[in-house]
Amino acid sequence: MSKFVKDLLSRDLAGRLDGVTDCVLADVIGMDAITSTDLRKRLREKGIGMMVIKNSLARRATEGTSLAPAFEGIEGSHAVLWGSEDFVTLVKEVTELDKDSAAFEKFEARGGVMDGEQLTPERVKEISKWPSRAEQLSLLVGQILGPGANLAAQLAGPGGRLAGQIKQLGEKE
């Protein structure tokens, strides 16, 4: 491939990955067309983009970006996955696909990059156990509302007992 064509492809890849700061790499080599189409459809439904690219072109396209560490020290072609509502949700979906050997047996998470740091496959599995953004928000809301709910219960409890006693006295007379 000529240098001119490589530069064109690199610019195109850089444009497609513009704005992407975190990604996961996966091995999808050996999948048949039907399985690959099913995989892409499933990922698209979850808002995840996937692109299979040659690592040498990916290195050229991501040079100087936060994605560059993902392609250091790996060889061959890999699928780059990005998107979803947050990075943890993306990693959870990739890990779930990796475990689902019946449907996608050739799919295997190979690493990635998060906040400019290269991730190993083990680190990707570790991150998949973290709470997602939605789970973190629900925990935070529970912690914010908890003291208020306790205070309301403490204020309503004695008042409710007093109202019950007054009602009981009124029924006796």
Condensed to tens digits (0 to 9), the pLDDT of residues 9-26 reads 888 888 888 888 899 999
Q: Could you tell me the pLDDT band of residue 101, with boundaries at 50, 70 and 90?
A: low
- If asked whether residues 125 and 77 sit together in one domain, one would say yes
Higher pLDDT among residues 53 and 161, named by residue: 53
Name the strands in the sheet holding 77-83, side by side, starting at the edge strand that comes first in the sequence.
48-54, 77-83, 23-27, 108-114, 117-119
| 60 vs 68: CA distance, rounded Å | 9
- If asked whether residues 89 and 163 sit together in one domain, one would say no
- If asked whether residues 52 and 84 sit together in one domain, one would say yes
| 65 vs 67: CA distance, rounded Å | 5
- If asked whether residues 117 and 159 sit together in one domain, one would say no
- If asked whether residues 138 and 126 sit together in one domain, one would say no
The residues near 15 (Cβ < 8 Å, ≥ 6 apart) are none
**Exposed/middle/buried for 79, CB within 10 Å: 0-12, 13-18, 19+?**
buried
| 124 vs 89: CA distance, rounded Å | 11
Domain carrying residue 25: 3-130
- If asked whether residues 13 and 74 sit together in one domain, one would say yes
- If asked whether residues 164 and 103 sit together in one domain, one would say no
- If asked whether residues 120 and 153 sit together in one domain, one would say no
CATH of the domain at 13: 3.30.70.1730
Give the pTM.
Answer: 0.74
- If asked whether residues 110 and 163 sit together in one domain, one would say no
- If asked whether residues 143 and 63 sit together in one domain, one would say no
- What's the alpha-carbon Rg for the chain, to the nearest Å? 26
- If asked whether residues 86 and 156 sit together in one domain, one would say no
Residue-wise pLDDT tens digits, 108-128: 888 899 988 999 889 989 988
- If asked whether residues 123 and 136 sit together in one domain, one would say no
> Left if phi > 0, otherwise alpha if psi is -120 to 50, otherwise beta: which for 53?
beta
What are residue 133's phi and psi, to 5 degrees?
-60, -45
